[in-house]
């Protein structure tokens, strides 16, 4: 843990406790609301985990009454992609030029050169459509950056947008498609914009795991800004922007039962850590941690931990918390943009260039904690992430269990690396 951005196990455990203190009661209320809804729909039992997805989906549908097919008509792929390029130009001073002289593995694939302040910095391939058994929703580095042998990065970006049914019409994107595109583009930028001269230090490959997805999550926060979402919208037939009321409902739908989801992530993160530092059997550990974070009973025959592939056969053993940590740190960094106003172009350019010159430029060349300090002028704080859930997502702050100094704790990551 001393080699991670968090710096110590105590800091990570404290982070989980802060989230639990602030949002466990909110998650309880979400489950109570869902229980009442289920009973109103002639369900006569106490909700179990296997009931929640079904009734959650029904509750979300009846609450927000959104037609996602109609909403996708406001997000044709070319418009969303150009809006993403424009945002990156404003923030980071980079531009994109499509190439037509490069062979690709499929006619749907497009190729773009990236220029940073006019200087060529790399190339990426975009394979946008769902197609057969194609590997989807991934960013793959074909070639990294190295000043030693004078090579620029080549990155492959693959998404799963459904192709248009009529070839003369554009592909239409769901909100989930847009979110995934921005998340993957954060990874692409992390690989595309490093300034370090060595291949091994360029990008996120050898970055601390709990900092390696900061760029990913940082980009997704832009999608959840109403003004940004509307700016990228343009009905494929009429050209009209997504109406204000639909935008509000869409974002509210996205955060439906968000506290419950957050507690589930805390449960998984803490269970992972306890498996590596505790003395109990894995099953006893699972049930003990579940009682701490989850507002739903665990079935006596539950063996879901056996399918926890991320820590048993994946790369996140003793590191599942890193996703939450990256979300927390990236939210703190995003707050630097909000502090100067998201409609203030000069502010976006100034802060965006600083983000480019720190997180993107340094890659794994220096410690993530130092990169953060260079950008924010201080250590990370839990507070912006807590406020994001309380204010931006609209959780009722009146039911928060604890609003004491925990939500203002600043981190001081260990300097050892």
* Spatial CA neighbour of 144 closest among 88, 89, 190, 185: 190
In this model, does residue 261 exceed pLDDT 70? yes
Can you tell me whether residue 19 is helix, strand or coil? helix
Q: Show me where the domains of the chain are located.
A: 92-229
Residue 139 banded pLDDT, cuts 50, 70, 90: confident
User: DSSP strand E in 167-252: where?
Assistant: none
| Average pLDDT value for residue range 163-171 | 93
Q: Which residues are CB-neighbours of 225 under 8 A, at least 6 positions away?
A: 342
In this model, does residue 330 exceed pLDDT 90? yes
| Average pLDDT value for residue range 366-391 | 93
pLDDT digits (tens, 9 = 90+) for 6-50: 999 999 999 999 999 999 999 999 999 999 999 999 999 999 999
CATH number for the domain whose boundaries are 92-229: 3.40.390.10
β-bridge pairing 110-116 and 119-129: antiparallel
Q: What is the DSSP letter of 299?
A: P
In this model, does residue 416 exceed pLDDT 50? no
In this model, does residue 112 exceed pLDDT 50? yes
Residue 393 banded pLDDT, cuts 50, 70, 90: low
CA–CA distances in Å: residue 245 to residues 60, 65, 231, 371, 390: 16, 12, 15, 39, 21
Cα 271 from Cα 265, distance rounded (Å): 10
In this model, does residue 92 exceed pLDDT 90? yes
Given a contact cutoff of 8 angstroms between Cβ atoms, the answer to whether 372 and 355 are in contact is: no
* Spatial CA neighbour of 304 closest among 280, 268, 333, 335: 268
Can you tell me whether residue 416 is helix, strand or coil? coil
Residue 134 banded pLDDT, cuts 50, 70, 90: confident
- % of the chain residues with pLDDT over 90: 82
In this model, does residue 149 exceed pLDDT 80? yes
In this model, does residue 167 exceed pLDDT 80? yes
Q: How many CB atoms lie within 10 A of CB 6?
A: 29
Q: What is the DSSP letter of 390?
A: I
Can you tell me whether residue 331 is helix, strand or coil? helix
pLDDT digits (tens, 9 = 90+) for 188-212: 999 999 999 999 999 988 999 999 9
Instruction: Give the mean pLDDT of the chain.
Output: 91
Please state which of the ranges 258-267, 335-344, 385-394 shows the lowest mean pLDDT: 385-394
Residue 278 banded pLDDT, cuts 50, 70, 90: confident
Q: What is the pLDDT of residue 351?
A: 98
Given a contact cutoff of 8 angstroms between Cβ atoms, the answer to whether 139 and 191 are in contact is: yes
Q: What is the pLDDT of residue 399?
A: 45
Q: What is the pLDDT of residue 2?
A: 78
Residue 412 banded pLDDT, cuts 50, 70, 90: low
Q: What is the pLDDT of residue 414?
A: 41
Q: How many CB atoms lie within 10 A of CB 21?
A: 17
Given a contact cutoff of 8 angstroms between Cβ atoms, the answer to whether 194 and 212 are in contact is: no
- % of the chain residues with pLDDT over 70: 94
């Amino acid at each position: 843990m001393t080699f991670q951005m968090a710096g110590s196990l105590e800091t990570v455990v404290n982070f989980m406790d802060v989230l639990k203190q602030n949002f466990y009661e909110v998650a309880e209320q979400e489950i109570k609301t869902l229980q009442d809804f289920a009973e109103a729909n002639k369900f006569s039992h106490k909700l179990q985990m296997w009931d929640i997805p079904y009734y959650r989906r029904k509750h979300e549908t009846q609450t927000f009454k959104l037609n996602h097919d109609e909403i996708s008509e406001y997000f044709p792929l070319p418009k969303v992609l150009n809006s993403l390029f424009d945002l990156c130009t404003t923030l980071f001073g980079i531009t994109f030029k499509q190439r037509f002289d490069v062979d690709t593995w499929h006619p749907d694939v497009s190729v773009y050169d990236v220029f940073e302040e006019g200087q060529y910095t790399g190339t990426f391939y975009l394979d946008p459509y769902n197609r057969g058994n194609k590997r989807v929703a991934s960013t793959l580095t074909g070639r990294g950056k190295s000043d030693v042998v004078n090579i620029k990065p080549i990155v492959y970006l693959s998404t799963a947008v459904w192709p248009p049914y009529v070839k003369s019409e554009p592909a239409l994107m769901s909100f989930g498609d847009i979110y995934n595109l921005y998340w993957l583009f954060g990874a692409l930028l992390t690989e595309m914009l490093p300034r370090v001269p060595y291949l091994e230090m360029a990008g996120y490959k050898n970055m601390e795991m709990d900092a390696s997805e900061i760029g990913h999550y940082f980009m997704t926060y832009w999608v959840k800004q109403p003004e940004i979402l509307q700016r990228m919208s343009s009905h494929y037939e009429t050209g009209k922007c997504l109406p204000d009321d639909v935008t509000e409902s869409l974002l509210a739908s996205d955060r439906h039962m968000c506290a419950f989801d957050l507690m589930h992530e805390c449960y998984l993160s803490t269970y992972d850590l306890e498996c590596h530092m505790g003395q109990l059997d894995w099953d006893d550990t699972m049930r003990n941690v579940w009682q701490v974070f989850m507002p739903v009973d665990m079935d006596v025959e539950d063996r879901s931990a056996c399918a926890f592939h991320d820590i048993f056969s994946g790369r996140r053993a003793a590191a599942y918390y890193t996703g939450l940590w990256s979300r927390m740190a990236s939210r703190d960094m995003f707050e630097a943009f909000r502090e100067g106003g998201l409609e203030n172009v000069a502010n976006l350019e100034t802060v965006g260039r600083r983000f480019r010159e720190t997180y993107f430029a340094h890659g794994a060349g220096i410690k993530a904690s130092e990169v953060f300090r260079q950008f924010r002028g201080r250590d990370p704080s839990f507070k912006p992430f807590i406020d994001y859930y309380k204010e931006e997502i609209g959780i009722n702050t009146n039911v928060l269990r604890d609003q004491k100094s925990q939500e203002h704790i600043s981190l001081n990551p260990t300097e050892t690396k």
